Structure formats: C-alpha cells, structure tokens
C-alpha cells in the first residue's frame, strides 16, 4: 500500500545513512521486530540498550513509510483533549495517560541528546488557538484542566495573543514541554545506534508468515529466511490488514503537508513554537532549523494519498493560504508538498500491547497525531511485558480495552 504521494521534505535533509542487507540466513533472537519506521526504531533502540537481542526487518527502507511523511511535532497534548479523555476513561486514567505522554516527550529528548548525531530534536512550546468563538469554552476548560493536574500551561486572551503573534484569534493556550524533530534523521540514527548496541537490521525483507509453537514464534520472509523469536513486535504502522476490524478499530484518512523555502526572517514567530488550532480537522504548523515553515492538515475521509499533482495542489494551496493569513510577512514559496495516509483510532487512543489471544505477540500501532510519542510509550510497555511486569499505562492502550471493545466496526 502506498502510504504517501508527492514531494517529501525530510529525505532531502541528508543522505540515507546506511543500507542494510536483506536477511538471507536463519536467525534466533529474543525479539523480532517487523517494521522499520518510528515505532520499530524506538523499540529496537530501547531493547538493544537493555541488552535484549533483536532482529528488525523492514519490507522497504528504514524510515520510508509513514515516518518520512511525519511532520515531526512531539506533543503531550493529544488529538483528544485532557478534559474529553477524562469524560471517556475517567480522571485517574486520563491524567495518567497525559503524564505518560509528557514523560515520553522528555524521554525522546533525553535519547536524542545521547545519540552521536544531531537529529534536530529541539524543545518547543505549543500554541493551541481557538479557531472560532464557539471553541473558546472548551479551550478554557482544557486550560483549567491542564492547570489542575500540574501541566505547565498559560491562557492567552485575544489581546494577549495579538501582543505576541501577528494574528487575531479568540483565545489560546500555550503549553510548555513539547519538542520538534526531523523524524527521518532521528529514525535512521536510532537504528544506526541500535546496531552498534547489537541489534540486527535487514531492509527489503518482508515477513510473510508467522506461526508459533510451544511459546516460540517463527517468522518467514518473502525470500524464505526464518526468524525464531520469543516475542514478535508488529510495528507496521497503518498496514495491519488482517487485524483491522478484529482488534484494530480505526479509520484510515489522508492528510496533506507542505514545506516552504527558508523564510528571510522568522522573528514574528515567538520561540519557534508549534502551532495548532481547535478546528476539526485541525491546521498545524512549525518551523525547521533552517528557517522553513511546515504546514499540515485538511484530513479527508479517504485512505488513498492524492497522486494527481493538480488535485493535490488544490488542497496544498488552501493550506498555504491559512499560513499567509496567520503570518502575512512569511512570503517564501512552497518547495515540498505531499499527501499521506493517516490513521486515527475510533477512541483516539493508540493500540499498544500484547495480543489478548496470542502470547508473545506485541503491537505498537500509534494511530493519531502523536504517533511518535505513542511509539516511545510502546517501547516502555514492551520492556515491562518482556519482564512479565504490568505497566501502569498498559490497560489504557491495550487492544481489548473497554472503550474499544464496545465499538462495533
Ligand atoms: C502527514 C502526516 C503527518 C504526521 N505528523 C506527525 C507528527 O507531527 N507527529 C507525530 O508524532 N506523528 C505524526 N504522524 C504520524 C506518524 O507518521 C506515525 O505515527 C509514525 O511516524 C508512524 O511510524 P510507524 O513506525 O508506526 O509506521 P511507519 O513509518 O509506516 O513504519 C511501518 C513500517 O512497517 C513496514 N512493514 C509493514 N509490513 C511489513 C512486513 N510484513 N514486513 C516488513 N516490514 C513491514 C512498512 O514498510 C513501514 O516502513 C503524521 C502522519 C502523517 C501521514
């Protein structure tokens, strides 16, 4: 399945770091990881750091899937606001989940600081503005809820906002503790480091069958090689066809993103913060270290990325107009634009955890705008699962959680 179409930006920011050979022999590991995107890379890095032997296989190339279309925002605030999540799963669990997301952003920052290469992971604040007056009450409620549970948040009235930003909106909240990253470089560097820590990696290696007997799992690749492992991790992004409807109650949409040429001057953009709005679907934007602006949004209920350039450009033009309304002085033209499949789960939470009917099989499917943060949480949960320990967040994201079991596809 083609996960994106168009002219991607991240792969142009540097050469592919390494080519990994296809798997040609049989191997025996503690863990087999299927998928070499953000999820597989973070998991592989964490496992190898803890001395757990692992083999990662990727059907295409490392970071070539949804990860290269990812716009690189690392936020602890979710597509579902904290007060809405409290209504959905209760105060205790919702706050616990938001705190886990905040810790995951911190952990990603810590990991990046230990890597041998700068992966453009920088701390950023996030500005969430009300798109319309009607959205103000829910924005204010979110502000009060975040404050109540100790999240570093500030409310900006329309006038406060206009003092700092060149646009007028009914109100906004500024949260501190988020980050941005170059996802393509980050994932390649994580995999490179995981290999140094002992992980085995094979590109152009597709898992085609998976059987198990007596607690041992056997994967066979399209080329006939075999991986025997105690645990298998499915980090296959939006492609778990055989699971959809059964365990994975999700909707696949398509989204759009674009990147401008470097702007002459970004001084009108306080702190290079991440910006998003309360619209549905939301519009979001960030800057890059070389002065570009990344814009995204306009999600549509169709999983196939728009391949036709004229049709894609129509949507991209609308995104660009939204940028120009906010920052009229940022007049550099667009240089890159793409359309990509984007999955959202039916209860706005990721699918992470052990298959309820198949011991030793672990899923890391980070649906939603916070996919990278969820991948970090998944790596932590997997380490607990391997040690047969129960992680405090496990019940919130497990595949057979009540909020998902009740949904009929
Ligand atoms: C336009 C857009 C913007 C986004 N922006 C953000 C953002 O700002 N922040 C954020 O956190 N998230 C964002 N996301 C979501 C993000 O892209 C994903 O959550 C994350 O990057 C996906 O990583 P992944 O490893 O789960 O999936 P992928 O990167 O898709 O990796 C899965 C890999 O599995 C491989 N695979 C599948 N089946 C097999 C098999 N049988 N054998 C071997 N390999 C296999 C695929 O080839 C693929 O490379 C965005 C997504 C889109 C589309």
**Three-class SS of residue 238?**
coil
**Is 207 close to ligand 1, i.e. is its CB under 6 Å away?**
yes
Instruction: Specify whether 399 is located in the same domain as 323.
Output: no
Mutate to test the pocket of ligand 1, among 70, 122, 240 (most ligand atoms within 8 A of CB): 70
Mutate to test the pocket of ligand 1, among 22, 32, 38 (most ligand atoms within 8 A of CB): 38
Q: What is the pLDDT of residues 118-146, one digit of tens each?
A: 999 999 999 999 999 999 999 999 999 99
pLDDT at 243: 59
Q: How large is the average pLDDT for residues 184-213?
A: 97
For residue 88, being part of any structural domain is answered with: no
Instruction: Specify whether 203 is located in the same domain as 308.
Output: no
Nearest-angstrom CA–CA distance, 192 and 54: 14
Does residue 252 register a pLDDT over 90?
A: no
Q: What is the CATH number of the domain that holds 363?
A: 3.50.50.60
Q: How large is the average pLDDT for residues 302-331?
A: 94
Least confident of 54-68, 177-191, 241-255, 279-293: 241-255
Does residue 342 register a pLDDT over 90?
A: no
Q: How large is the average pLDDT for residues 202-218?
A: 96
Index of the ligand 1 atom closest to the CA of residue 366: 19
Q: What angle do CA 236, 306, 34 make, to 5 degrees?
A: 10
pLDDT-derived band at 246, boundaries 50, 70, 90: low
pLDDT at 299: 87
**Is 182 close to ligand 1, i.e. is its CB under 6 Å away?**
no
Q: What is the pLDDT of residues 34-62, one digit of tens each?
A: 999 999 999 999 999 999 999 999 999 99
Does residue 406 register a pLDDT over 80?
A: no
Instruction: Specify whether 152 is located in the same domain as 267.
Output: yes
* Domain, as residue range, for 379: 4-70+184-249+348-405
Q: φ and ψ at 304, to 5 degrees? A: -85, 120
Does residue 238 register a pLDDT over 90?
A: no
pTM: 0.96
Instruction: Specify whether 207 is located in the same domain as 279.
Output: no
* Domain total of the chain: 2
pLDDT-derived band at 15, boundaries 50, 70, 90: confident
Domain boundary among the residues 344, 378, 394 is at 344
Nearest-angstrom CA–CA distance, 68 and 354: 27
pLDDT-derived band at 18, boundaries 50, 70, 90: very high
Nearest-angstrom CA–CA distance, 128 and 168: 13
Q: What is the pLDDT of residues 263-301, one digit of tens each?
A: 999 999 999 999 999 998 899 999 999 999 999 998 888
DSSP state at residue 348: S
For residue 369, being part of any structural domain is answered with: yes
Does residue 405 register a pLDDT over 80?
A: no
**Is 44 close to ligand 1, i.e. is its CB under 6 Å away?**
no
Domain boundary among the residues 318, 344, 370 is at 344
Residue ranges of E strands in 112-249:
122-129, 153-157, 171-180, 200-202, 207-213, 216-221, 226-234
Nearest-angstrom CA–CA distance, 70 and 373: 12
Structure tokens at 127: 């500005």
What's the gap in Å between 399 CA and the centre of ligand 1?
19
Q: By the 8 A CB rule, do 36 and 61 touch? A: yes
Nearest-angstrom CA–CA distance, 293 and 341: 21
pLDDT at 400: 87
Q: What is the pLDDT of residues 348-400, one digit of tens each?
A: 899 999 998 899 999 998 777 889 999 999 999 999 999 999 999 999 999 88
Share of the chain above pLDDT 90, in %: 84
Instruction: Specify whether 150 is located in the same domain as 287.
Output: yes
For residue 109, being part of any structural domain is answered with: no
For residue 387, being part of any structural domain is answered with: yes
Q: Which of 350, 189, 209, 331 lies closest to 260, judged by CA?
A: 331
What's the gap in Å between 382 CA and the centre of ligand 1?
18
Instruction: Specify whether 28 is located in the same domain as 132.
Output: no
pLDDT at 245: 55
For residue 374, being part of any structural domain is answered with: yes
Nearest-angstrom CA–CA distance, 186 and 41: 9
Does residue 81 register a pLDDT over 80?
A: yes
Instruction: Specify whether 256 is located in the same domain as 370.
Output: no
For residue 19, being part of any structural domain is answered with: yes
pLDDT-derived band at 240, boundaries 50, 70, 90: low
Q: By the 8 A CB rule, do 122 and 288 touch? A: no
pLDDT at 409: 52
Domain boundary among the residues 344, 361, 393 is at 344
What's the gap in Å between 150 CA and the centre of ligand 1?
31
pLDDT at 392: 95
Does residue 239 register a pLDDT over 80?
A: no
pLDDT at 263: 97
Q: What is the CATH number of the domain that holds 137?
A: 3.30.9.10
Does residue 241 register a pLDDT over 70?
A: no
Instruction: Specify whether 235 is located in the same domain as 168.
Output: no
Instruction: Specify whether 262 is located in the same domain as 368.
Output: no
Instruction: Specify whether 58 is located in the same domain as 129.
Output: no
Q: How large is the average pLDDT for residues 73-84?
A: 96
Least confident of 175-184, 217-226, 349-358: 349-358
């Amino acid at each position: 399945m083609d996960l994106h179409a168009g002219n991607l930006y991240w792969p142009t920011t540097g050469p592919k770091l390494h080519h990994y050979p296809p798997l040609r022999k049989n191997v025996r590991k503690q863990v087999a990881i299927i998928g070499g995107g953000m999820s597989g890379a973070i998991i592989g890095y964490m496992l190898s750091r803890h001395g757990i032997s692992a083999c990662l296989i990727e059907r295409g190339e490392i970071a070539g899937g949804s990860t290269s279309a990812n716009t690189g925002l690392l936020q602890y605030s979710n597509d579902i606001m904290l007060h809405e999540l409290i209504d959905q799963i209760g105060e205790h669990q919702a706050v616990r989940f938001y705190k886990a997301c905040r810790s995951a952003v911190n952990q990603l920052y810590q990991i990046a600081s230990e890597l041998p290469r700068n992966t453009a992971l920088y701390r950023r604040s996030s500005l969430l503005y009300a798109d319309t007056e009607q959205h103000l009450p829910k924005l204010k409620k979110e502000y009060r809820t975040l404050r109540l549970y100790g999240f570093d948040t500030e409310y900006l009235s329309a006038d406060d906002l206009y003092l700092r930003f060149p646009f007028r909106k009914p109100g906004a909240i500024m949260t501190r503790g988020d980050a941005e990253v170059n996802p393509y470089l980050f994932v390649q560097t994580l995999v490179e480091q995981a290999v140094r820590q002992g992980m085995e990696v094979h590109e152009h290696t597709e898992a085609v069958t998976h059987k198990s007997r007596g607690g041992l799992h056997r994967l066979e690749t399209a080329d006939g090689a075999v991986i025997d492992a105690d645990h298998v991790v499915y980090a296959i992004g939006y492609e778990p066809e055989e699971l959809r409807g059964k365990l994975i109650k999700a909707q696949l949409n398509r989204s759009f993103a674009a990147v401008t040429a470097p702007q002459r001057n970004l001084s009108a953009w306080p702190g290079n913060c991440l910006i998003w709005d309360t619209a549905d679907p939301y519009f979001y934007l960030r800057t890059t270290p070389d002065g570009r602006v990344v814009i995204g949004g306009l999600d549509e209920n169709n999983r196939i990325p728009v391949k036709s350039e004229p049709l894609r450009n129509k949507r991209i033009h609308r995104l660009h107009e939204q940028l120009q309304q906010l920052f009229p002085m940022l007049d550099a033209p667009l240089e890159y634009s793409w359309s990509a499949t984007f999955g959202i789960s039916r209860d706005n939470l990721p699918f992470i955890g052990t298959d309820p009917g198949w011991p030793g099989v672990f899923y890391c499917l980070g649906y939603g705008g916070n996919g990278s943060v969820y991948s970090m949480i998944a790596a932590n949960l997997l380490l607990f699962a391997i040690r047969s320990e129960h992680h405090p967040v496990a019940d919130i994201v497990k595949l057979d959680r009540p909020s998902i079991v009740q949904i009929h596809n």
